[in-house]
Structures are given as structure tokens and as C-alpha cells.
Amino acid sequence: MNKPLRRVAIFCGLLVLALLIRVNWVQFVQADELKEDEHNRRVDIARYSQPRGNIIVDGDPITGSKETDTGDFKYKRTYKDGPMWAPVTGYASQVYDANFLEKLNDGILTGDDDRLFFNRTIDMLTGKEKTGGDVVTTLNSKAQKAAYAGLKGRKGAVAAINPENGAILALASAPSYDPSKIAGMTEKDGENYKALLADKDKPMTNRALRETYPPGSTFKVVTAAAALENGLYTDIDEPTKSPLPYKLPLSSTNLKNEGNIPCKDATLRNALKVSCNTVFAKIGDNVGRDKMVEQAEKFGFNKEIFTPTRSNASVYDTKMDRPGNALSSIGQFNTAATPLQMAMVASAIANDGKLMEPYMVEQLRAPNLNVVEQHKPEPMSQPLQPENAQKLQEMMETVVEDQGGTGSKAKIPGVTVGGKTGTAQHGVDNSELPYAWFISYAKTDSGTPVAVAVVVEDGSANRDDISGGGLAAPIAKNVMEAVIDSEK
């Protein structure tokens, strides 16, 4: 071979080598980057080229897919009772991506999850169209309907948990939205999405998980737990030696109770029954900030919770002074909680002090119904010893069952119900409308199937503790009844 030909051959060889290096670099190094590039439509086209798997409640799908003739996406997502289930499903949009369960389980729902490789291989060999798997939830459809109906026309949220295993039974938020109306890529879908973002009532915010509220007097059960766990009191019927009026520590300000209620030297039981600010603020100060922080964190405060959908961290301030701690002990000052968090508090108390990790996905299924992943309930913490939890149960049951208790509207005939009302003031100098709270649990002969937290942002709420009993307790009652009825 002469010299010029040899040079051409070497040059061509180098070009081939460079091409091989480039191809391997693109395929193995840049693959994920190119796949996720916003300008790469092939991934999204493939994503919507077949029906999406479903999200399942009580054995039935609450989602679906339908063919569309708009653009180059063959299928779009549909939702059954979309506004009611939006806090659970989230949305899957051809334009705006996805969130909540739709996003977290996208691989299973589209069929692209590595665990579905065998199914994809069989489908390819048989010529069958690729389909997605299913996400089976722990949700109870009757409880969700009761929660959503109770919030109709209001702003607020409901979270319900099975205390025995942590399964989330209801997760409602109002106002809500219909994910079907933003699932496509039409001009109308775009207008709907922009309107939702501009809505001052924030219908796309999952208030049960992503909104933190001052918990008001419902937090007094956490303070009572701290008193029992730290040996401040052992008998819930002994006088607490609480003065009236009670002056905040390091302050000349007297803390007020709502109305003329018997709070001087009140027992723990009666103090919770009529909701004495003075008693529980004094308890919080006696226990001390560090022990109060420790108790709150055992219930889940100060960290995000994953259900698997993320829930914002509830807050109990770790650096406040003594007056701040006293006020925080009655759910004021900087204390803030999600409805899920307060349902977890009620759940742990009802479950004899053991807090189970909350979850809402029971299993992930392949298209052939084989189980790909099964959730195993796990303990999260032990906020109370069983004997102290049972004492606190007695106190909460007094709130509902005894005459004069603030939670009487949550009574269910033949069922033992424990609860705690709360009205949380907020805004500068408490200028904003208060939030009405109620947390509760229900016990039957066969166990404790449900704990609930309800918060209502309502203009008709009175500035006293009874608002939680009047506005939120009836919603909690209906949710508890729905769970109990569904188990019959």
C-alpha cells in the first residue's frame, strides 16, 4: 500500500474510532441527561403512547386513560371524581408533567419500571401492546366521600389513619380541582391550569399534607403526654395546682382562658375536657422547652413525613424562650402542624402509645396483577408508654362523652370516641379568622380502626374553643362512622 492510501486508511480508522467513542458516550454517559432533556419529546410520546396503569381504591380504579386526537400523544389521563381524589392521585398532564402518586409511581403506571422488565419482554414476544401496572392504595372510599362532603363549600382538610397499622384511610382537601381538566394539551387545558395557579384559594395545594396551621388546643394532648411521660403527674384526677389567673413566665401578662371555665387547680382530665389554657401553659413551662421538643418530635414534629407523598414538617420551636414555650404548649406562638401530623398524634394515643408510620400505597402491581412491591407496616416511634397512653385516652374520651365536654358532637352510639377540640387564632394580634380543629379516634369491640384530624378555615368560627367542636367534630364523626360501617 502506498503512502497516500495508508494515510487515508489511518484517517478513516480514526474517524470510525471517534464515531464509536461518541456513540458509546451518548448511549452510556449522556443517556439520562438526554432522556430528561425538556426538548426531547420522544420520551413523552412513548409515555403517552399506551394506556396508563391505574390508581386503585377499594378494588376499583379512580383513574383511567382515553385516546385523544390532539397533538402526537395518543392517550391522556382521566379521573373519576377528580376533585375528591386529587389530594391522593395528583395529576398526570401531557404538558405539565405529574405530581403526588402519579409522579412517584410513574414507572409502574407507564410500564417502564425495571421491575416490569419480564412483563415487557413477554408483551414484545407476543405482540401485545405495552401497558402499565397499578398502584393499590390504602384509602377507604366511604371515608374519603364523608371527608370531602363535610368540607364542601369550605376551606380545610381531613386526614384519617388506621392507628393499628398506619394506613391512611382518607386525605381530603378543599377547595380542590379536577385533574382531568389539565391532563391534555388543548388550549382549554392551558387556560384551566393558569386559572388554578392564579386562584387565591389555592385549590391545587394539598392542605392535608402541605399546609401547616397553628394547631390551637388540639396540641394540649401533646402537652398532657409530656406531663405524664416526664412524671409531672401520675394521676389524671389529682389537682394540678394551677393558679388562676396564670402569669406567663418572665412576663407581666396574664394568660386568659376562653370564658368562665373552672381551671383553677383543675385536674388533667377536667383541664382537657374544658380546655384550660392556663393549666397546659403552666405544664409546658414546668416540663421545660427541651422536654416539650423531645415529646413533640416523638409524635413526628420537626421532620418531613413521606407517605410516600411528602408532607411538610410540622414545627415545635427548638430555640424559643420560656414565655414562647408556654404559649407553644397550648398550640400557639410558633407551633404549626399539618392535619396529617395531628391525625398521627391521635393515632399514637389510640394505639396505646405506639405511632405507626403512615402510608397510603398498599402494593404495586404488574399488568398481570402480580405483586411487584408489598408495603409492610412499620413502627415509627413510641411517644407514650402504654399506661400513659391509656390515661390520655380516658381524658380524650371525657372530652366527648361527658356532659360539658367540648367534643360532644363527635359522639357515636355504641362506639367509644376520644377527641380534642381546638380553635387556632392567627394573624397579627389574632386579627385573622380562626381555624376550627378537631382530632379524634374511635374504638369498637374489634379494635381501633380510625383516628382523624379535621381543620376548617371558616369565617363563621367563633373565637373560642367550642368552634372546633361545632364545625370540625361533626366532620370527624362522619368519617369515623364511614370507616366503622365499611368494616361491617
> Which domains are present in the chain?
210-362+379-486 (3.40.710.10)
Write the DSSP string, 394-416: HHHHHHHHSTT-TTGGG-BTTBE
Active site residues: 217
How far apart CA 229 and CA 387 sit, in angstroms, is 10
User: CB neighbours of 385 closer than 8 A, spacing ≥ 6?
Assistant: 229, 353
How far apart CA 455 and CA 301 sit, in angstroms, is 18
CA proximity to 284, closest of 209, 338, 353, 230: 230
pLDDT attached to residue 161: 98
pLDDT digits (tens, 9 = 90+) for 231-240: 999 999 999 9
pTM of the prediction? 0.89
For the beta carbon of residue 9, count every other beta carbon within 10 angstroms.
11
| Rg of the chain on CA atoms, in Å | 27
Tallying the residues shown for the chain, one arrives at 488
User: What Cα–Cα distance (Å) separates residue 342 from each residue in 154, 209, 253, 452?
Assistant: 20, 11, 29, 8
Q: Are 348 and 354 in contact (CB under 8 A)?
A: yes
User: What Cα–Cα distance (Å) separates residue 408 from each residue in 154, 378, 399?
Assistant: 22, 33, 7
Proportion of the chain above pLDDT 70, given as a percent = 88
CA proximity to 475, closest of 165, 145, 211: 145
User: CB neighbours of 381 closer than 8 A, spacing ≥ 6?
Assistant: 298, 299, 300, 348, 355
State the alpha helices, DSSP H only, in 302-454: 322-328, 339-350, 386-401
**Burial class of 127 by CB neighbour count within 10 A (0 to 12, 13 to 18, 19+):** exposed
pLDDT attached to residue 466: 47
Q: Are 245 and 371 in contact (CB under 8 A)?
A: no
SS3 string, 242-256, reads CCCCEECCCCCCEEC
* Grid coordinates belonging to 113: 419500571
**Burial class of 145 by CB neighbour count within 10 A (0 to 12, 13 to 18, 19+):** middle
How far apart CA 222 and CA 236 sit, in angstroms, is 15
> Can you tell me which residue has the cell 430528561?
36
User: CB neighbours of 46 closer than 8 A, spacing ≥ 6?
Assistant: none
Angle CA 474–480–486, to nearest 5: 135
How far apart CA 442 and CA 416 sit, in angstroms, is 6
Average pLDDT of the residues of the chain? 89
Q: Are 55 and 61 in contact (CB under 8 A)?
A: yes
HSE-up of residue 234 (Cα within 13 Å, Cβ side): 1
Residue ranges in the chain modelled with pLDDT below 50: 466
How far apart CA 308 and CA 340 sit, in angstroms, is 13
Strands 355-356, 361-365: pairing kind: unpaired
For the beta carbon of residue 167, count every other beta carbon within 10 angstroms.
23
Task: Describe the strand order of the beta sheet including 155-161 as a list of residue ranges.
Answer: 168-174, 155-161, 447-457, 435-444, 416-424
